[in-house]
Structure 1
Amino acid sequence: MRLIPVIIALLAVTVFAGLSAIYIVDERQQAIVLQFGEVKAVKTEPGIGFKVPLIQEVAFYEARILPLDTSPLEVTPADERRLVVDAFARWRITDVVRFRQAVQTELAAISRLERILNASLREVLGTVSSDQIISAERTTLMQRIAEDARSDARELGVEIIDVRIRRADLPVENLRATYDRMNAERQREAADERARGKEAAQRIRAEADRQAVELTSEANREADIIRGRADAERNRIFADAFGRDQEFFTFYRSMAAYEKSLGGENSTMVITPESEFFDYLKAPQGRPTP
């Protein structure tokens, strides 16, 4: 009867030791077995592992891809226009033993990786202009930053998978000056466009005036030619008519003169009645004036 408590105690110790010797690694983890701080085993595949109870301990680390969000960083590109860059990265532990020796914890690794990433951001973005950072070339720049950061991260047992620039903005104190400069540039471009438009308008008006003068001169020349021909034809007709019947021609000319001189409502003429101008207004020979 005295042996029963002893046996129960031994069974309990055995069960506890057996359970303590077993550890489970799932697919999201990787583990290392430590004995007095020294790495004794590494298990990166999911499943059951064994260790020496009470002497050895197991440290678990993530096998998944982990995020790294950096604090906004102020960088100075090659054109001296400062930018505030907000970036993030994706990383994972590839050498758990080196990771344990270098940083021990994931929190410490994040702090080290953020410093590495910030240094790479400053180095790469400092060699290009701000326009390249905010243009389609950003993809190439992010690849360069990731490549630059990978070599330092590898010393921590970590792989930098990807780096992305979330945004790149001007510092708040520079926004107003930048807006003013952009406004001045646009005003200058608008003034240049207006000046070029005025120059083109003057050139077009000058060409139009020249063409108008040429067309008017040509029209006047043709009109003078036509009038000259018409006058010549009129004179020919008059001469021909005068040659056929001089008396009728003289009568016709006198009637035209009367119409012009006596056509007004209050016409006054100072002329002697014996003038030839009134010949056709006098009574014919032998016929009394009505």
Structure 2
Amino acid sequence: MNRTALILPVLFVALVAGLSSVFIVDERERVLVLQFGQVRQVREDPGLGFKIPLIQEVVRYDARILGLQTQPFEVTPLDDRRLVVDAFARWRIVDVVRFREAVGVEGINGAQGRMERIVTPAIREVLGSVPSGAVLSDDRTALMNRIRDLARRDAATLGVEVIDVRLTRTDLPEQNLAATFARMRAEREREAADEIARGEEAAQRVRASADRTVVELVSEARRQSEVIRGEADAERNVIYAEAFGRDPEFFAFTRSLTSYERALRGENSTMVMRPDSDFFAYLRSDQGLGAAGGAAPAPGAEDQLSGAPAPEAEDGPATPEQTGAVATPAPEAPALALNPQPLTE
């Protein structure tokens, strides 16, 4: 009975010692076996592990990717415009022994503070070397990659790998928002005024070019019309001269009839002349030009009444010798007063 009483405590102590010497390594963990604070064993593969009870201890670290959210802080970009930024970093432990030596007994919580003190200066250094427009733009991948590379270099001393750094906030300080918006508005208004001025200048050039083109086209059209009108007048005079040369008597007759038609229109006008005026020679005689005593209206009488120039032949005015007409002494110039004027009651 006494032997049984002694064996049971020994078995219990042996059982407790055996259980305390066995530990399990999870696949999400990295394990260090320490003896009096010194690393004796490193276990990174999942499975069972053994240690000396009461002498050695097991320290576990998370092997997964961890996150770090920095506190908001101010940075001053290259153009001295202050910005409030914060970032989110992803990191993991790659060297558990160096990590233990760097952070000691603080573990993951102590490493978070150390990582924030590494990431924040990297953000200040990178964002301080570029203007604020590059920080506020949508494409900031290059800047975040530079921040990641700087933080990765400094975090290597902790046995940590920085996987990625992302800027989650880039805002203006509250006290600078109104001034910044006013300056941005002034810049946009200045750019708009420049664009309007350039547009007005271009419009003036277009209008000046159009006006010059119109003047040139109108001038050319007028020149061509004057040329055509001159050619037509010359051709008309040639036709008149040829007609007069063929039959001067008939030509004088038709011109007189035309003069009568134009002068005797009922347009409320008055002509004062002697009854025996040469203007009515063809009305007083039915024998033509010879019977009228050569007193028919001259070929230019119609033009004198209507304002048209008298026709001339190509080689000058036709003479009685050229046309064969019988020249008779002209009667004494009649007293002709041709003064159209409106009738008044």
Structure 2 distance, partners of 1:156, 1:241, is 122
Structure 2 distance, partners of 1:224, 1:62, is 102
What is the CA-CA distance between 1:36 and the residue it aligns to? Answer: 4.0
Q: Which residue of 2 aligns with 1:122?
A: 124
1:158 correspondence with 2:156: no
Q: Which residue of 2 aligns with 1:83?
A: 83
Structure 2 distance, partners of 1:57, 1:138, is 46
Q: Which amino acid aligns with 1:230?
A: A
Q: Which residue of 2 aligns with 1:288?
A: none
Q: Which residue of 2 aligns with 1:274?
A: 276
Q: How many percent of aligned residue pairs carry the same amino acid?
A: 61
1:78 alignment partner, SS class: coil
What is the CA-CA distance between 1:126 and the residue it aligns to? Answer: 1.0
What is the CA-CA distance between 1:114 and the residue it aligns to? Answer: 0.7
Structure 1 distance, partners of 2:77, 2:136, is 11
Cα deviation per residue 1:105-134 (whole Å; 9 max; x = unaligned)? Answer: 211111111111001110122112223334
Q: Compute the TM-score of the two structures, normalised by the length of structure 2.
A: 0.74
Q: Which amino acid aligns with 1:65?
A: I
- Residues 208, 256 of structure 1: CA spacing in aligned structure 2 closer, same or farther, 3 A cutoff? farther
Q: Equivalent residues in 2 for 1:51-200 (5 A)?
A: 51-103=51-103, 104-135=106-137, 138-200=140-202
Q: Which residue of 2 aligns with 1:9?
A: 9
2:232 alignment partner, SS class: helix
Cα deviation per residue 1:256-282 (whole Å; 9 max; x = unaligned)? Answer: 223333334423223332322233344
User: Is 1:93–1:157's contact at 8 Å kept on the other side of the alignment?
Assistant: yes
What is the CA-CA distance between 1:62 and the residue it aligns to? Answer: 0.8
| Structure ID, larger Rg | 2
What is the CA-CA distance between 1:48 and the residue it aligns to? Answer: 1.4
Structure 2 distance, partners of 1:185, 1:283, is 97
Q: Which residue of 1 aligns with 2:322?
A: none
Q: Which stretch of the first structure deviates more once superposed, 174-183 or 212-221?
A: 174-183
1:260 correspondence with 2:247: no
Q: CA RMSD in A?
A: 2.4
Structure 2 distance, partners of 1:225, 1:112, is 97
Unpaired stretches in structure 1, ≥5 consecutive residues: 286-290
Structure 1 distance, partners of 2:247, 2:212, is 51
Q: Which amino acid aligns with 1:79?
A: D
- Residues 279, 174 of structure 1: CA spacing in aligned structure 2 closer, same or farther, 3 A cutoff? farther
Structure 2 distance, partners of 1:274, 1:95, is 142
Q: Which residue of 1 aligns with 2:31?
A: 31
Q: Which stretch of the first structure deviates more once superposed, 219-228 or 23-32?
A: 219-228
Structure 2 distance, partners of 1:146, 1:217, is 74
Q: Which residue of 2 aligns with 1:209?
A: 211
Unpaired stretches in structure 2, ≥5 consecutive residues: 288-345
Q: Which amino acid aligns with 1:72?
A: P
2:273 alignment partner, SS class: coil
